A and B are shown apart, each in its own frame.
Chain A
Amino acid sequence: DAMVIQNPRYQVTQFGKPVTLSCSQTLNHNVMYWYQQKSSQAPKLLFHYYDKDFNNEADTPDNFQSRRPNTSFCFLDIRSPGLGDAAMYLCATSRDKRGNADTQYFGPGTRLTVL
Chain B
Amino acid sequence: AQKITQTQPGMFVQEKEAVTLDCTYDTSDPSYGLFWYKQPSSGEMIFLIYQGSYDQQNATEGRYSLNFQKARKSANLVISASQLGDSAMYFCAMRDLDTGGFKTIFGAGTRLFVKA
Alpha-carbon separation in the docked complex, A29 to B103 (Å): 17
| B31 contacts chain A at the CB level, 8 A cutoff | yes
Alpha-carbon separation in the docked complex, A41 to B108 (Å): 6
Residue of A nearest to B52 (CB): A101
Looking at chain B's contact residues, is the secondary structure mostly helix, strand, loop, or mixed? strand
Using a Cβ cutoff of 8 Å, how many contacts connect chains A and B?
63
Within 8 A of A (CB), among B11-30: 29
Q: How many residues of B are in contact with the other chain, CB < 8 A? A: 29
> Which interface class (under 10, 10 to 19, 20 to 34, 35 or more) fits A?
20 to 34
Can you identify 25 A-B contacts, CB atoms within 8 angstroms?
A40-B89, A41-B108, A41-B109, A43-B106, A45-B103, A55-B101, A88-B43, A90-B45, A92-B45, A100-B33, A100-B53, A100-B102, A101-B33, A101-B95, A102-B33, A103-B35, A104-B47, A105-B47, A106-B37, A106-B45, A106-B47, A108-B42, A108-B43, A109-B44, A109-B45
